[in-house]
Amino acid sequence: MPAARLHLWPGDAPAEVDYALVWKPDGETFRQVEVRRAIFNLGAGVDALLAVPSLPQGVPIVRLEDAGMAVQMAEYAVFEVLRAYRDVGHYVRAQQEGRWAPLARRDPASFGVGILGAGVLAQAVAAALAPFRFPIATWSRSAHARPGVESFAGRGRLPAFLARSRVVIGLLPSTRDTRGLLDAAAFAAMPAGAHVVNLGRGDLVVDADLLAALDAGHLAHATLDVFGDEPLSPGHAFWHHPKVTITPHVSAVTDLGETVAQVAAKIEALERGEPISGIVDRARGY
């Protein structure tokens, strides 16, 4: 884009621009700068952007698609699924207690993996898990037919999805329909000894209900990379819970080079009058 003129806000940004590239802007950004063509969110999740009161109406919002995150998310998810499948937690405890305690081999066909979400990241996770022969399913707002992946859609199908999943991986955006989706009823629907891995948005999980399910022994373990409030407060019960693993929102980080290339390609397409992917449905929140 040799003809493009780049400006920083705050700084030398003019009162009007064609495109804005933003990440968690404050309320003053759009009061001081009018965006005419499109707003590019420099991340996959748009919940923070949609919450800005001064966000202009009628201007398309474009989210990042993959931008190097899919491979990272797949790495993280595969690691956690295999850790659960191979009972690594059991062997760590046995070592600490000085016990030689082998377990019988599991049949992968009996170890269902459920992915909450069906977008680019969820597809990458499903593809990465395919060689291990686990029954894989996704759950989303609407059905998505893909080879080798069972699709569940709608609230009515959530209990059945959870009941067949030994590991539930959260990859959903934060919307009014997903906040608090994993609550006491959802955890009760999961098989005894199930694992929860949340990598999408922290408000998917009701913290108190998750702790109760872990303490009751119904859930075996939870791995959490995202939280309702970040950074996680020092006094939160998750920090020192023996059945919780915490990472600080690092499961997938946008790659700068891929981000720049993707945004530039989409701006060039818009300038040619061509359609682009990744446009956010404000009503749905993603």
| pLDDT tens string 103-135 | 999 999 999 999 999 999 999 999 999 999 999
**DSSP code of 205?**
B
For residue 12, what pLDDT is reported?
A: 87
Spell out the alpha helix ranges (H) of the chain.
29-32, 47-50, 69-85, 88-96, 120-129, 158-163, 184-189, 207-215, 256-271
Distance CA 29, CA 35 (A): 10
**Domain limits at 107?**
69-246
Residue 152 φ then ψ, to 5°: -115, 140
Domain count, the chain: 2
Give SS3 for 224. Answer: strand
Max mean pLDDT among 1-5, 43-47, 180-184 falls in 180-184
Mean pLDDT of 27-55: 95
Q: Choose the catalytic residue: 249, 272, 282, 284.
A: 249
pLDDT at 182: 99
- Say whether both 100 and 128 belong to one domain: yes
**How confident is the model over 187-239, as pLDDT tens digits?**
999 999 999 999 999 999 999 999 999 999 999 999 999 999 999 999 999 99
Predicted pLDDT of residue 258:
96
User: How many residues are recorded in the chain?
Assistant: 286
For residue 61, the cross-strand partners are: 39
Find tokens 């701006």 and name the residue.
Answer: 267
- Whether residues 186 and 107 share a domain: the answer is yes
Confidence at residue 27, expressed as pLDDT on a 0 to 100 scale: 85
pLDDT over threshold 90, residue 1:
no
Same-domain status, 100 and 35: no
Residues 136, 229 share a domain: yes
Angle made by CA atoms 18, 23, 24, in degrees to the nearest 5: 115
Same domain, 44 and 115: no
Distance of CA 284 to the CA centre of its chain: 16
Are 87 and 186 part of one and the same domain?
yes
Determine the pLDDT at residue 3. Answer: 81
For residue 243, what pLDDT is reported? Answer: 98
Q: What value does the mean pLDDT of the chain take?
A: 97
The CATH number covering residue 90 comes to 3.40.50.720
Q: Does the annotation mark 221 as catalytic?
A: no
Cα gap 237→232, rounded to integer Å: 10
Cβ(48)–Cβ(203) under 8 Å?
A: no
Distance CA 92, CA 63 (A): 40
Q: Are residues 194 and 64 in the same domain?
A: no
Catalytic residue selected from 63, 83, 201, 221: 201
For the segment 156-164, the average pLDDT, to the nearest whole number, is 99
Do 2 and 143 belong together in one domain? Answer: no
Q: Are residues 140 and 273 in the same domain?
A: no
Sheet containing 16-22: order of strands: 16-22, 34-41, 61-63
Q: Is 187 in the same domain as 99?
A: yes
Question: pLDDT, tens digit, for every residue of 72-103?
Answer: 999 999 999 999 999 999 999 999 999 999 99
**Is 90 an active-site residue?**
no
The dihedral sign for the CA sequence 151, 154, 155, 156: negative
**Is the per-residue pLDDT at 246 higher than 80?**
yes
| Residue 270 CA: distances (Å) to CA of 2, 118, 259, 265 | 16, 26, 17, 9
Taking residues 254-273, what's their average pLDDT? 97
Q: How many Cβ atoms are within 10 Å of 75's Cβ, its own excluded?
A: 15
CA distance 175 to 71: 24
**φ and ψ at 32, to 5 degrees?**
-100, -20
Question: Quick one: pLDDT band at residue 2, thresholds 50, 70, 90?
Answer: confident
Considering the domain architecture, whether residues 242 and 265 belong to the same structural domain is answered as no
Asked whether residue 178 carries a pLDDT value surpassing 90, the answer given is yes
Phi and psi, residue 141, nearest 5°: -65, -40
Mark whether 108 and 188 lie in a shared domain.
Answer: yes
Q: Which residues contact 140 (CB under 8 A, 6 or more apart)?
A: 116, 117, 118, 122, 151, 152, 153
Gap between the Cα atoms of 35 and 51, Å rounded: 17
In this predicted structure, the answer to whether residue 58 has a pLDDT above a threshold of 90 is yes
Task: Convert the pLDDT of each residue in 4-35 to its tens digit.
Answer: 899 998 888 899 999 999 999 998 999 999 99
